Structure formats: structure tokens, C-alpha cells
Amino acid sequence: MKNARGTAAMDPKTRQEVARKGGLAVSRNRQHMAEIGRKGGQTVSKNREHMANIGRKGGEASRGNR
């Protein structure tokens, strides 16, 4: 059996505290998170052909698993 790594090695209480802190950090600054999302959307729209190719490859890969 493999040893637990990362957060899996923590006891449940510590893991919950870490997760809570991450959630609080995000919820405190919604405007900042919205700005990050907006920037990401602008980046995608600048190079639609590239993003379409990525999506196409993903679709082809998932079709192979059916």
C-alpha cells in the first residue's frame, strides 16, 4: 500500500481547516476573482482558432473512450 501524500496525509480536522481557509480567501475578494475570469475570457477570445483546436482534440479523445 502506498503512503498518503499531500493533504491526504493530514488528519481530517487539519484538512478541513486548510480547505476552509482557501474558501474564505476566495469569498472575501469576489471582485478580484471576477477580474481574473474576465481576463481569461479575453485571452480565449483573442485566439479562438487555437482554443477550437484544443476543444476538438478533447472531443476526439473522449469519443475514443466510448
Cα dihedral 11, 17, 23, 29 sign: negative
Instruction: Tell whether the model's pLDDT for residue 65 goes beyond 70.
Output: no
Helix residue ranges, H only, the chain: 12-28, 30-46, 48-63
Instruction: Tell whether the model's pLDDT for residue 37 goes beyond 70.
Output: yes
**What are the grid coordinates assigned to 7, written together?**
493533504
Any domain includes 39: yes
Domain count, the chain: 1
Dist. CA 11–CA 21, nearest whole Å: 16
Confidence category of residue 40, pLDDT binned at 50, 70, 90: confident
Q: Hey, is 43 helix, strand or coil?
A: helix
Answer yes or no: are the C-beta atoms of 18 and 10 closer than 8 Å: yes
pLDDT in tens, 8-32: 899 999 999 998 888 777 767 788 8
Question: Can you give the residue range of the structural domain that contains 46?
Answer: 10-64
Any domain includes 4: no
